[in-house]
A and B are shown apart, each in its own frame.
Chain A
Amino acid sequence: MFKSKRNILAASILVLMTVATLTASLWLPTSPAHIDPSERLLSPSGQHWFGTDHFGRDIFALTIVAARISLLVGIVVAFLATLLGTATGLIAGYYKKADAIVMRIIDGMLAFPALLLALALVAALGGNVKNIIIALTFAFWPVMTRIVRSAVLQVKNIQYIEAAKTTGTSDFVILTRYVLPNALSPIIVQGTFIFAKAILAEAALSFLGLGVNPATPTWGSMLQESQIYISIAPWFSIFPGLAIVITVLSLNMLGDGLRDAFDPHAVKQKRVKKVWPLWRARKTQKQWAREKEQKSVAENEYMGKEV
């Protein structure tokens, strides 16, 4: 999958962002918590790359640190929603009776727009990181259940599943060793999309004032605070917004890339590229030919004996 430049770019942006936000306290020139009333709403300059906000805080530092909450929420929600969605999807796809019950619940949940459901849950539970994660997991796992279920339905009737049954394989083993691996690619792809959606949703919740404690900077809360200053200090809005766009775009690109990598039909359309280094390619081809020859010799010998 790392053959395409787009995937490498997307993955390196995400890795860079994660590393930068986790090690922020080691290299940031100014602390994001440093308040200086004399430096309010300064435009970007050599000292403050992204300018300053209405408290005189450095927006570059804030944007970097705010990535922690966004990425944390995104990755945990993606993980939990995938876990829950995969479990329910496998059961719904494999057992007809469970399907009727599980899917009606899922359909009910899908009837609400995901963000509205999350909004209601956060409003009821109270705004902190844990509750946001719970709310967003609930909002996003029904989609995963549907996707896993349809993948299961596709592989369920292939003969090797039935062949496995004739050797007395238990349902659990069939689900985990036969069904799940064959449904893995849509799960991974959907997982990255949930990651991106969760980051967007977290920003939206913070923007609406339902996010984490206002003292903790997040991209969404920064956008909200910047609203009233947008005409005099546009950089205050632009940079956190840009951070969201870049992160979500990278995740979507990665998701698309993963889908292409997993989709066997996409392989055919790929251009044959010059393999570097060339000598290595030639060698493997030779090896391959030799192996094939050995195989056919062995089979021929055998058939000569038998027939």
Chain B
Amino acid sequence: MLEVKDLKAYLDTSTGVVKAVDQVSFTVKAGETVGIVGESGSGKSVLALSLMQLNPTPLTFYPQGEILFEGRNLLGLRERALRKMRGNEISMIFQDPMSSLNPIFKIGNQLIEAIRSHKKMPRHKAEAEAIELLQDVGIPDAERRMHEYPHEFSGGMRQRVMIAIALACRPKLLIADEPTTALDVTIQAQILEMLRTIQNKYGTAILIITHDLGVVARLADRVMVMYSGRIVEEGSTADIFYRTSMPYTWSLLRSIPRLDEAGQDRLIPIQGQPPNLVTPPKGCNFSPRCPFATPECAEIDPALTERRHGHRVACILSEMEFEEQKQLLEAVDRKEVLA
């Protein structure tokens, strides 16, 4: 359904051209949930906004690539056609539900407006549909709460309203840019659960963008790991979490606490800083921080290649080499902890 081919999205800033998204290719099939994980500044949000074509212009430009949505390239579309597509076929929800709703209109009116902006229908019909949507996203007493203002809703409830607005026209793809980052953990779990129910009911594909590996593990069918504007590993959720084949993903997983492994009481951070995207390092972008780095890594820029079915990795180490090194490093870790 959605196919991104060799997409580059660069930002033309005063300090130079920032390669925010560099040579990214992936697909999202209908009804699928795909997660994009990466640290701050890895280009996740720019990628999401590229799909909506809502990056600020002329600051952002696309020197290369295609975004094919059901065969149509979004990069060549006119503003009018894009507007028709936004909300109708691709929708988006944002990180901060506190500022995503217009504070001066009632929730109901905002929903009805979203419904009627694409579908011509009488107001009372749109109202009935709005109430149903609110019930679907789990807002109790929907009929009464239609007549309330955004400030009367809690953060979790507001995010539900945002999701209802995004789903108003039954889009085929929902982009969720850090949908639960601003919420506390119990609400987060509820929202994710609700997204899954909604997906079953509406058949919407979800592209979920987050830095939270837990969110991805819970929701996604497939995961892409982004680092400095590139996809460095892509595979099924099981591939990423249990058959990790890329040093960055491995370091990332090692830096979060785990409940199923006792004995390790200190988290291991990734050394160094993310690279400057104006002048990325030569060779592999991760090589300056990579515990596995060889002299070759600073020379060769590894391409994303398929290892197993559907599991793509961008690293010059073969699976065996990676496995050996990994065990070595983990042994060192344990000794350090003992000493």
Contact = CB atoms under 8 A, between A and B. Distances in A.
Contacts of A181: 104
A13 to B, nearest CB: 31
B117 A167 contact: yes
A302 B85 CA distance: 34
Contacts of B157: 299
B113 A177 contact: yes
Contacts of A116: none
A167 B86 CA distance: 5
Contacts, number: 79
A33 B157 CA distance: 69
Interface string B161-193: 010011011000000000000000010011001
Contact of B54 (A165, A178, A295): A165
Contacts of A299: 140, 157
B94 A182 contact: no
B118 A168 contact: yes
Q: Is the interface of A mostly helix, strand, loop or mixed?
A: helix
B114 interface: yes
A166 B166 contact: yes
B85 A168 contact: yes
Given A167-B165, A170-B83, A302 B104 contact: no
Interface in A163-191: 163-170, 173, 177-178, 181-182
A298 B138 CA distance: 12
A45 interface: no
A182 B105 CA distance: 11
A295 B152 CA distance: 10
A178 B166 contact: no
Contacts of A298: 140-141
A107 interface: no
B99 A167 contact: no
A303 interface: yes
A167 B96 contact: no
Interface stretch (A132-140, A154-162, A204-212, A216-224): A154-162
A160 B100 contact: yes
A265 to B, nearest CB: 16
B162 A173 contact: no
B54 A163 contact: no
A159 B100 contact: yes
Contacts of B104: 181-182
Contact of A164 (B93, B96, B102, B193): B102
A167 B91 contact: yes
A306 B166 contact: no
B101 interface: yes
Interface string B60-88: 00000000000000000000000111111
B38 to A, nearest CB: 21
Contacts of B223: none
Contact of A306 (B99, B101, B193): B193
A303 B166 contact: no
A160 B91 contact: no
A261 B163 CA distance: 34
Interface in B104-126: 104-105, 113-114, 117-118
Which 3 pairs, one residue from A and one from B, show the smallest C-beta to C-beta distance? A167-B87, A168-B87, A168-B86
Interface of A: 158-160, 162-170, 173, 177-178, 181-182, 295, 298-299, 301-303, 306-307
Given A162-B94, A169-B114, A298-B141, 15 more contacts: A159-B100, A160-B101, A160-B103, A163-B92, A163-B93, A163-B100, A167-B168, A169-B87, A170-B117, A173-B117, A177-B105, A299-B157, A303-B190, A306-B190, A306-B193
